[in-house]
Amino acid sequence: MASLAVKAFDDILWKQCIQPNLGILLFALCVSCILFLRRWPKRTLPPGPPPLPLLGNIHQTPSKDMWKTYKQWHDKYGPIISMQYGQKTVVSIGSFKVCKDLLDKRSTSYSSRPQLIVANYMNRGLHSGFLLYGERLKAHQALHAVILNPRVVKSYGYVQDIESRQLLHDILQSRGHGFQDIIHRYTYSAVFTLAYGKRFASVDDETILKVDEMAEAVAENLQKPSFLIVEAFPFLDRLPRLLAPWRRMGDHHYEETSQLFESLLQLGRSTSSWNWSKELSKSNDERDALSDTELAFVLGTLVEGNSTADKILEFFIMACVLHQPEFHHAQREIDTVVGTDRLPDCSDAPDLPYVNAFIQEVVRWRPITPLGIPHALVKDDEYRGYHIPKGATIMANNWAMELDDELFPDASEFRPERWLQTPNLPTAAFGFGKRSCPGQHLGRRSLFIVVSRLLWGFNIQHACDENGQKFEIDSSKVTQSSLTGPLPFEASFIVRSPRHQDIIENQFSNSEKNPDAIMDHVHSLVKSASGRL
């Protein structure tokens, strides 16, 4: 059986990756022979699977669930391992201790990003997430801090309150059918209201569809075999444009993305109320730092990042369905603290320790960035007797860290109580060092208000077919990308009582729907909180 699996994998590797790109690959190997003799590392790298000359470990890395293979290598070789992909050295970190030592304590050296050739053509160096560590990144981060510092983020709770009321109402009306789209609308509408003063009544809005198409194009193109070859052998980028399809694709994607982001920035500036577009434009004018196009990318990429909470919320729904005792424990805590006469809100968070633990366990149990967001080393470094070369890609392997049985006993099990028994457990969810997620404070509040309100209002359980048979859920299968989510699954949402239903309906009907009125109120809260905006 094992030999058949290996043969099947080899067939796929040949037909999908090697055969269509054989000419380019042979050329790459010939040139690499010379570079191999000149550049192959002579000092001791961290341990790892034995590489082949020239190819390195390309042949050992599967196209699916790569993070699981990396964890197996960590289990065998230790908390810091290295791989070679063509000309590129990749170092994977599978320990919170090593991450703290390198990405936090030596953050100045470890806070850059690998220069992905295809990504650079797609965003032309304007995407905050791909910037090298330096003055331009600091300019982007200074703008992030204006609108995402912890003081002002509390003021955005009004938007999250309104959007989560609609989420509850939509779940009530649909009985949870298509809950993924309902969650998707919530995350986009909340962040677009803040960024551009634009709300979404449904997930079918043309703007959401465009942003989704753009995100899918990025994920698809960064994983195309012919494009992965140029990342492993960067000298191929010197080929004529006719032989470099990644350039044509990148130019096309950049034009579409810049048009979308610039049109959204102008939309935000044209509204009558305050929003992030106006505030960042004012702050940028004071600094005279960025062009309008780059400012549009700063805001657009922030919006992209803050709308990924829908993947975590889908994993939350999955956890509720699969772990009913823990789900009911969280409900009982909410019933005791909140009661049935009102919706929970963020002010209840300190009094709901088990609910907070439930959220932390969801994030740990199924990390949405299992291999983290890669860092790059700006100068040679030594650690525990190992040499880590300048330019190496550094991956904080969230999957290996969050499923470490020594730190999290029975790590594959869903156990919220572990966060109450050991309150200072580490988390990798929002990154490390100077490249940690700028929207983490907003994201945490968004997760809490939706999770607490769904727990308050609904019994969430297995959905069944017309014969009463449960739709099974395999929690181990996820989408294959740098940002993962559950494969589509069904869940049943049953409102807990007529009283709960009345409150959900009344809260929605009495909510402000006009985005300008919403943002005028937010602005008053922000001014009170910051004394500036």
Phi, psi of 97, rounded to the nearest 5 degrees: -60, -45
- Cβ atoms of 59 and 52 closer than 8 Å: yes
Binding residues for heme: 437
Going by the DSSP 8-state scheme, the letter that residue 50 receives in this structure is P
Q: 423 is written with which tokens?
A: 């309150």
- Cβ atoms of 93 and 395 closer than 8 Å: yes
290 Cβ partners below 8 Å, 6+ apart?
Answer: 139, 140, 143, 284, 298
Task: Determine the Cα–Cα distance for residues 49 and 201; give it in Å rounded to an integer.
Answer: 51
Q: 216 is written with which tokens?
A: 């899918």
Task: Determine the Cα–Cα distance for residues 28 and 24; give it in Å rounded to an integer.
Answer: 6
178: alpha, beta or left? (left if phi > 0; alpha if psi -120 to 50): left
The single-letter code of the amino acid at 321 is: V
Q: 260 is written with which tokens?
A: 């979308």
In 3D space, the residue among 107, 106, 45, 51 whose CA is nearest the CA of residue 81 turns out to be 45
Q: 19 is written with which tokens?
A: 């055969």
Query: Is the Cα torsion angle 512, 515, 520, 521 positive or negative in sign?
Result: positive
Phi, psi of 142, rounded to the nearest 5 degrees: -65, -40
- Cβ atoms of 332 and 358 closer than 8 Å: no
Q: 174 is written with which tokens?
A: 């649909």
**Residue 104, CA distances (Å) to 99, 394, 433, 499 in order:** 7, 13, 4, 49
> In whole angstroms, how large is the CA radius of gyration of the chain?
24
Binding residues: 437
- Cβ atoms of 396 and 85 closer than 8 Å: no
Phi, psi of 495, rounded to the nearest 5 degrees: -60, 145
Q: DSSP strand E in 132-269: where? A: none
Q: Beta strand pairing status for 88-93 and 393-396?
A: parallel
Counting Cα atoms < 13 Å in the Cβ hemisphere of 365 gives: 31
Helix (H) or strand (E) holding 394: strand 393-396
Q: Which residues pair with 52 in a beta bridge?
A: 56
Q: 208 is written with which tokens?
A: 């959401």
Q: If you search the block for the tokens 């990154």, which residue do you land on?
A: 431
